[in-house]
Amino acid sequence: MTEIFSHTACRQLSQLFLAIIFFHCSEYLLAMVIHGRSSVTLKSLLISRQYILAMFISFVEYYIEIAYLPELKEQWVISNLGLTLVVIGEIIRKVAIITAGKSFTHLIRIYYDENHQLITHGIYRFVRHPGYSGFLIWSVGTQIMLCNPISTIAFAVVVWHFFAKRIPYEEFFLRQFFGADYNEYAQRVVSGVPFVK
């Protein structure tokens, strides 16, 4: 039990809690600033039952490993790499949201809106879905930061699978809205999620 109150656990878990709080609060605040308070719901916090379950499982893994394999959590190079990925993922996602402005929403648009524009400048010059890239890096980074090998793999697989399904669905509508312009853009710029075209 004392391992959970060790310096290592206190540092890693406090970094995780700060990362989670900052990620979700900043998502909500940015949505309010960009779209107005009346247009934003609690869905902009991006907290679902599946997300809570995933984080709970990662805490269970962390607790078991720190109790029975405390040396696993002392891999500071790995933990600091995870922290770096958390920061990089956060920056990529927030730059994507700010660059897209009113064109960025947490829900996929299935109807055209005059505020919705095809964004191809800034970070979107290099990646079609930088918000998804940022979240993938951030979420996997949280588990690397905790030195959670099982959750690192699980988060990578589950988040990748989610975006592998979401991107084609979203791009179906983007092609409906922007036609040849989107096709040309999609041919020259990568999706930003590995192995998703």
* Contacts by residues 11-20 (CB-CB < 8 Å, ≥ 24 positions apart): 12/62, 12/73, 12/79, 12/145, 12/146, 12/147, 13/62, 13/146, 15/83, 15/86, 15/145, 16/142, 16/145, 16/146, 19/86, 19/90, 19/138, 19/142, 19/145, 20/55, 20/142
pLDDT of residue 2: 54
Output the pLDDT for position 112.
Answer: 87
pTM across the whole model: 0.93
Q: What is the pLDDT of residue 121?
A: 97
Query: At 137, is the pLDDT very low, low, confident or very high (cuts 50, 70, 90)?
Result: very high
Report the C-alpha gap between 10 and 22 in whole angstroms: 18
Mean pLDDT of 119-125: 97
**Stretch 59-67: mean pLDDT, rounded?**
94
Residue 87 identity (one-letter amino acid): V
